[in-house]
Structure 1
């Protein structure tokens, strides 16, 4: 039996290849609690790099398989998350003691109200934590099924395909980039935290000056 760490992208890709991409992206796109602990951005970009890998020790992945699995996982996972939220999700979101779920739900409500369905569902795909809770929250908050399906599909395809292709282009242009997967994953994690830090800064500013105008 292959030993692997489900939170480590290199381990997942070595053990399951493109199918690992499908399973992880599916879970991260809408399965509350479980999805928070799985890699998303830090899986898709390295998967693209490995599609272009030429090293003898790196697992060689097929680009078309990774693209298809990433797309299916992103779209299907969000749709399942929406259905779970629509059918009994509101009590779950309101009663949960998980801090990440609570904070993500508040953020999801804020972004849906501020940007509308389309922008929120596209932008939310690129924000860690938010993309896991946004789709169940949309179902629980009564977002209509048709616009949700259209915009989550657009967002899911933009997010999943752009990251895989970016990784593939990097792997094709930089020799032996697959030897540096761990440092690259660390950089992706740092970059993915920037939207969360910006949101936390806006929240602190709003708390200090609740009567001031919203300039963001």
Structure 2
């Protein structure tokens, strides 16, 4: 296998995980750790699989190909440490990132995440775990915005644990059902909407009460 074939396998590991396990055995844990760490920790790698990888990995755990508890422990650590690195990179770069042009940075995704962050505040760090692209940029934006590290870590740990456990466990129980496996992204997005809608309604209600009281 040449480098390009290996790279393609890594990028699409959620679709080739069975082959990876057969070829690399227990080294698959290291590979999955690296993928989750890079997807959450490096703003230049939002294209790596996240949700689908966790779900499919859970499905393989159900077949006995991997140990679910070891997998979850490693990937929770990868998700939390990845976000932490991303936060410090954002803090180091600073707000100049919004005015300067960086070849390695997707400005559109950055501004989209900033809008998401301004709308939902610290909860963005938790909610963004379930939103591809946004989850890669959210900790970076938190660092750029000088979000207090303690507050960031609270949402980071909460989101990291919730994201990994929910999708791996869901994959363990439902990953081998074709209709669910084939529509995973839609199911995840519906779950995110279910989490965000109550927040939006609550915000509208608080705004309404504020208007009423001011009158």
Correspondent of 2:184 among 185, 188, 200: 188
Distance (Å, rounded) in 2 between the aligned partners of 1:101 and 1:123? 21
Aligned to 1:28: 39
Question: Please, which moves more after superposition, 107-116 or 45-54?
Answer: 107-116
Matched, 1:38 2:60: no
> Take 1:10 and 1:65, find their aligned partners in 2: how far apart are those partners?
21
The one-character-per-residue Cα deviations of 1:82-137 (angstroms, maximum 9, x if unpaired) are: 01110125444542356x822222222222222221x2111111111000011111
Q: CA separation in 2, counterparts of 1:93 and 1:128?
A: 21
Q: TM-score, normalised by structure 2?
A: 0.73
Q: Find the counterpart in structure 1 of residue 11 from structure 2.
A: 7
Question: 1:144 matched to which residue of 2?
Answer: 148
SS of corresponding position for 2:183:
helix
Superposition TM-score, scaled by structure 1 size: 0.73
Residue 69 of structure 2 is matched in structure 1 by 64
Instruction: Report if the CA contact (8 A) 1:30-1:134 is conserved.
Output: no
Q: Contact 1:51–1:168 (CA<8 Å) still a contact in 2? A: yes
Q: 1:167 to 1:140 in 2, by over 3 A?
A: same
Q: Which residue of structure 1 aligns with residue 200 of structure 2?
A: none
Give the secondary structure class of the aligned counterpart of 1:143. Answer: coil
Aligned to 2:116: 111
Q: Which has the higher helix share?
A: 2
Give the structure 1 partner of residue 59 of structure 2: 49
Would the aligned equivalents of 1:128 and 1:192 in 2 still touch at CA under 8 Å?
Answer: no
Would you say how many aligned residue pairs link Structure 1 and Structure 2?
183
Partner secondary structure for residue 6 of structure 1:
helix
